Chain A
């Protein structure tokens, strides 16, 4: 899989960072192209205080793209919700830094307090529970970070190069650009790909895609362009995509991207 987030870094702040569940998440983040930095405080002070100081120091040294932050640190009563105090410190100093709270308390009063406080600064803060699948953590981080990467792999055979405005089809080194997908057609496919990257089941409404079509009947023109995109990718993959493959029309409301099964 292409490393779509090369050079991006996620800071992991958790006193159980070597637990199996955290290792699985870190592995998935690294598959996604992110590097992970794990906070390992020097011993000396109480556990929570150490983590807090080490986290703030680390952010100051190398501003990460996002922070994955636990709520509870150790069994010390004072550290029960140390993560919320670290959250407050980060939000106050770096209000735009995305923070994903990784906790067993994805709902409930602690989340309410933290969300209310972070909303005061309009900070990008979200909560996810520790039983979430690594894929779910990745999706949540993608949206928190916000900006789409320069290239988006769709399944194993399609790669959208956003900066070069090209769609590559093929596997590994054998990828070739589908040159028929240019201009408005590229914009339509990019729009579908970016939405799929951020939220795989989300439909893109006609109104958003019709900006890239023209003529008296923009809906019909859009339909033709979608067919041409499917044909171009299908030709490069030696297949023909049917109505319920690659780009599908949902109840005449809009289109959704479905990665081809390989």
Chain B
């Protein structure tokens, strides 16, 4: 829609100008064409109408464009999602993961110490204690993701947020995410495999944080719902690169697919069970993808045969230039 605003604005100006010219020339044109004084009037009326219509069109495009740009550039789900956070609140947001991270690090550090002690003295291990330690370790990736999701949500809704573009090696970004989720998947008896075509994708200009954050959420989601396998595949064309995240989970019913990117939606909502995640991940992922000039789509098959799966496809522009995005 944005691309139509300028031509409409120009057209309005041209119509208004034609109206002014017609008003000036009306007496002369009327005389030449009809040689009667009353015949001037139709041209005067016509000129006046054109002037009013032209000015109206131009004024409407100015106010409409401002409203459109506000909504489309910063809005979440088509609304203007920006808040005017106070300085104190913003400062707190910047430090909140540090504040929340400290007690979490203490708990997880203690859990790992205790596990090391128990491994050194196998006879002293109590099944209940081991179960507790396992549960703490299992929940750690959820805490990590939740903290970064909240950070990104704040950034998306902050007036000062900007999209920093850098030279990124997508293969290395996927390697980092695979490092993080391979042990999580293995713990649940699942496997992650990833590759790129071609095998070295090279460097692209993109927003590193956005890619890492979106794909982390997709892989987290895939590991959560996969049967045994998760696959991540990277490809590119001259203008975009693509990350496909596939899992062999039970799939999502066609009726639920439209809600998949809704804030707070998880499959457990349908079954009225306890949510296994906040339901923020996919909502943020799609908004971040679109804000970065790309998109996130999903395809799923929930048939009970062996073909059931879910595939998310992330596409992001790979040729964002340094000049366009303020990279020094």
Contact of A199 among B104, B143, B179, B231 (CB under 8 A): B179
**Contact yes or no, B199 A21, CB < 8 A:** no
Complex Cα gap A205–B328 (Å)? 36
Residue tally, chain A, CB below 8 Å to B? 43
Complex Cα gap A100–B231 (Å)? 27
Enumerate chain B residues within 8 angstroms of A256, measured Cβ to Cβ: 193
Say yes or no for A136: interface residue by CB 8 A criterion. Answer: yes
Enumerate chain A residues within 8 angstroms of B175, measured Cβ to Cβ: 143, 198-199, 202
Enumerate chain B residues within 8 angstroms of A72, measured Cβ to Cβ: 98
Enumerate chain A residues within 8 angstroms of B180, measured Cβ to Cβ: 132-133, 136
Q: Interface stretch among A55-63, A107-115, A153-161, A216-224?
A: A107-115
**Contact yes or no, B151 A108, CB < 8 A:** yes
Question: How many whole Å from A202's CB to the nearest CB in chain B?
Answer: 6
Say yes or no for A145: interface residue by CB 8 A criterion. Answer: no
Say yes or no for B101: interface residue by CB 8 A criterion. Answer: yes
Say yes or no for B8: interface residue by CB 8 A criterion. Answer: no
Closest to B102 in A: A104
Q: Interface stretch among B34-42, B108-116, B288-296?
A: B108-116
Say yes or no for B118: interface residue by CB 8 A criterion. Answer: no
Say yes or no for A23: interface residue by CB 8 A criterion. Answer: yes
Contact of A131 among B104, B110, B167 (CB under 8 A): B104
Enumerate chain A residues within 8 angstroms of B212, measured Cβ to Cβ: 107
Say yes or no for B105: interface residue by CB 8 A criterion. Answer: yes
Complex Cα gap A164–B201 (Å)? 33
Say yes or no for B218: interface residue by CB 8 A criterion. Answer: no
**Contact yes or no, B101 A23, CB < 8 A:** no
Say yes or no for A253: interface residue by CB 8 A criterion. Answer: yes
Say yes or no for B195: interface residue by CB 8 A criterion. Answer: yes
Say yes or no for A6: interface residue by CB 8 A criterion. Answer: no
**Residue among A107, A201, A250, A256 facing the most chain B CB atoms (10 A cut-off):** A201
Question: How many whole Å from A26's CB to the nearest CB in chain B?
Answer: 11
Say yes or no for B164: interface residue by CB 8 A criterion. Answer: yes
Question: How many whole Å from A148's CB to the nearest CB in chain B?
Answer: 15
Enumerate chain B residues within 8 angstroms of A104, measured Cβ to Cβ: 97-98, 101, 105
Complex Cα gap A27–B148 (Å)? 27
Enumerate chain A residues within 8 angstroms of B104, measured Cβ to Cβ: 131
Contact digits for A191-206, partner B, Cβ 8 Å, 1 yes 0 no: 0000000111111010
Say yes or no for A116: interface residue by CB 8 A criterion. Answer: yes
Say yes or no for B194: interface residue by CB 8 A criterion. Answer: yes
Complex Cα gap A151–B97 (Å)? 40
Say yes or no for B197: interface residue by CB 8 A criterion. Answer: yes
Closest to A139 in B: B179
Enumerate chain B residues within 8 angstroms of A136, measured Cβ to Cβ: 179-180, 183
Contact digits for A122-163, partner B, Cβ 8 Å, 1 yes 0 no: 000000011111111001100100000000000000000000
Known contacts: A201-B191, A203-B194, A208-B199. The answer to whether A107 contacts B148 by CB under 8 A is yes
Q: Which residues 210-262 in A have Cβ within 8 Å of B in the complex?
A: 250-251, 253-254, 256, 258
A-B contact pairs, 11 of them (CB 8 A): A20-B109, A21-B108, A23-B109, A104-B98, A107-B148, A115-B166, A129-B144, A131-B104, A131-B140, A201-B194, A203-B194
Identify 6 new A-B residue pairs, CB closer than 8 A, beyond the known A107-B151, A129-B101: A21-B105, A116-B328, A133-B137, A136-B179, A143-B175, A202-B194
Binding site for B on A (CB under 8 A): 19-24, 27, 72, 104-108, 112, 115-116, 119, 129-136, 139-140, 143, 198-203, 205, 207-208, 250-251, 253-254, 256, 258
